[in-house]
């Protein structure tokens, strides 16, 4: 009986994962430029996590329910080599508790190897967002809920409505951090002459913001 219940549970988990993942993405090709578009249902999730090894990531609000992901890859090397690389690249999806977790898979651990990667993620309004990225650029525009970003190296740029934010923490291990309000800028505290951190908790909204870059720059603007 216990084995039967365990088997039924495993089947349920597998079915749930398949429901979230839906199907592998298909590439639309235009010379060296390739684009994949996929939608992921929230399925009751209250937050979204997005993992990207390296590249350029743009986040903007979505008006509908699904999370929309547009993945663009441009190849700078030979056609056959590009085809081989593209076959390995896709977007994995999983739902854990109340979080929808998305990850771009198939990118090299060690560098771009002739690929330029750009991702646009449209997140439904009112949902929290967590980003974990190795290297590159993160641009977040008009997000109005909880936000957490961890970037190993590169630049983070965030623009949010001032009325939506409760508190902000920005940190750069090596580099700069800045927060600009309507008519003035909050100065960061320097540490060890190479990095800095900044904390602000005078907002009237509900969103908590925590952004960290290991080496680079993090800049936030409340409008």
Q: What is the pTM of this model?
A: 0.86
Q: Return the HEC string of 26-51.
A: CCEEECCEEEEEEEECCCCCCEEEEE
Q: Encoding tokens for residue 90?
A: 């896709």
Buried b or exposed e, range 174-185, using 16+ CB within 10 angstroms: ebbbbbeeeeee
Per-residue pLDDT of the chain (223 residues; tens, 9 = 90+): 444 444 443 434 434 443 444 456 788 877 778 999 999 999 999 999 999 999 999 999 998 899 999 999 988 766 666 777 788 899 999 999 899 999 999 987 656 667 899 999 999 999 999 999 999 999 999 999 999 999 999 999 999 999 999 999 999 999 999 999 988 899 888 887 789 999 999 999 999 999 999 999 999 999 9
Q: Encoding tokens for residue 7?
A: 């088997």
Per-residue confidence (pLDDT) for residue 30, from 0 to 100: 76
| CB neighbour list of residue 181: distance below 8 Å, 6 or more residues apart | 162, 222
């Amino acid at each position: 009986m216990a084995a039967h219940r365990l088997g039924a549970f495993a089947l349920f988990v597998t079915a749930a994962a398949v429901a979230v993942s839906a199907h592998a993405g298909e590439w639309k090709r235009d010379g060296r430029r390739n684009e994949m578009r996929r939608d992921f249902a929230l399925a009751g999730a209250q937050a979204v996590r997005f993992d990207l090894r390296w590249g350029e990531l743009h986040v903007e609000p979505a008006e509908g329910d699904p999370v929309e992901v547009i993945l663009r890859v441009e190849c700078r090397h030979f056609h056959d080599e590009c085809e081989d690389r593209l076959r390995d690249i896709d977007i994995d999806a999983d739902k854990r508790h109340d979080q929808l977790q998305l990850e771009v898979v198939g990118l090299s651990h060690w560098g771009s190897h002739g690929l330029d990667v750009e991702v646009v993620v449209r997140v439904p309004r009112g949902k929290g967002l967590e980003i974990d990225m190795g290297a590159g650029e993160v641009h977040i525009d008009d997000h109005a809920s909880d936000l957490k970003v961890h970037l190993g190296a590169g630049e983070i740029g965030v623009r949010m409505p001032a009325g939506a934010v409760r508190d902000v923490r920005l940190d750069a291990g090596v580099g700069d951090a800045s927060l600009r309000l309507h008519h003035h800028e909050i100065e960061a505290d320097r540490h060890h002459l190479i990095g800095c951190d900044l904390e602000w908790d005078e907002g009237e909204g509900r969103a908590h913001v925590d952004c960290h870059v290991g080496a680079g720059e993090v800049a936030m603007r409340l409008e």
